[in-house]
Amino acid sequence: MRRRLGCCAALFAAAVAAVGAQSTSRPLVVCHAGSLSAALADVEKAFTAAHPDVRVSDVSGGSVALARKLATGIQACDVYASADYLVIDRMLKPAGLADYTVVFAEGRMVLAYLTTDPAAQGVSEANWYQRLLAPGVRVGGAHPFLDPGGYRAHMILELAQRHYGVAGLYNSLLEHYQVIPAAGGPGAPALGKDFSFQFTYEHSAAATALGNPTYRYIRLSDRIDLSNPAHAADYARASVTLPGLGVTGAAASVTIPGARVAWGVTVVKTSTRQQDALAFVGMMLGPAGTTALNAHGPSPVAPVVDRGDYARIPPPLQVLVKPGLTAP
């Protein structure tokens, strides 16, 4: 009986200690685009191992939706990593929520489909837009007011009209675009069932294809897939205008120009966990982050900031980034 009571007491003490450790650990809220989930899971694991006194709270979602939640106080964020660095430049900076944007990864948009879908048979880079225009065909994507993946899809449709020289192509393709609700779960629209094609990031498509032999994707011309910095001037001819952050002092609407697919990160200016947030972003930009991005995508790039931002980068990050990026 004494032995049994001793074991119970030990277990109780361990449980109390664990609860106490959790309650005294410092919370760090990392808000990020869903397209970074796999890579940041590895970074968060490494960070927690190196900083056992910090408890990471992971929040993923559409980058624009997260920016609005941050601005309105619905969602606290210490670190904010966006699927489009321009969301930080055009939305968070003017609202006083960010001082700088570090671009740390790049990618491209692709068109995904299932080989079992009759509507997708024979689709290629040469004929993709004709296939999307077929009666009854739907192309799925995120809402452009919530997620860069959604507004990049619209930019691709706009750029396609110029690239192929087909009058009215943008409107015709847009009539086939179907918004996929941000909230998934049972009954959510599915590729090959509710829509036949989907614009998505290549690293996400490649990961899905590894686990599903019927899932495939095609690359589009780099004149329209937002992947090649050499075509920046062409990309910038397309743009989207989004509702603003919805807070006093913020613009009622924000225009995002077309630009290469590039992810950005910042430490939120109003964060009360500046040192922990800087340490986390430092790990993101260092070897651990590079390894995670190489394993899961998107593709890492040497961290770079706009020349005007460099002076505002805190010293712990200045040694990891270089000036040079010029935002459109």
The full set of domain ranges for the chain reads 25-106+259-325, 109-226
> Which fold would CATH assign to domain 25-106+259-325?
D-Maltodextrin-Binding Protein; domain 2 (3.40.190)
| pLDDT given for residue 66 in this prediction | 98
Which region holds residue 246: left if phi is over 0, alpha if psi is between -120 and 50, else beta? left
Of 75, 81, 26, give the one whose Cα is nearest residue 292.
81
Q: How far is CA 296 from the centre of its chain?
A: 13
pLDDT digits (tens, 9 = 90+) for 66-108: 999 999 999 999 999 999 999 999 999 999 999 999 999 999 9
- For every residue of 205-273, DSSP letters joined together read HHHHHHH-TTEEEEEPPTTTSS--GGGHHHHTT-EEEEE---STTS-SEEEEE----EEEEEE-TT-S-
Per-residue pLDDT at 14: 40
* pTM of the complete model: 0.91
Reported as a pLDDT band with limits 50, 70 and 90, residue 26 is: confident
Spatial neighbors of 231 by CB under 8 A, at least 6 apart, are 222, 223
Is residue 6 very low, low, confident or very high in pLDDT (cuts 50, 70, 90)? very low
pLDDT, tens digit, 9 for 90 and up, residues 127-156: 999 999 999 999 999 999 999 999 999 999
C-alpha 206/C-alpha 113 separation (Å) is 12
Please give the class, per CATH, of domain 109-226. Answer: alpha beta
Average pLDDT across the chain, whole number: 91
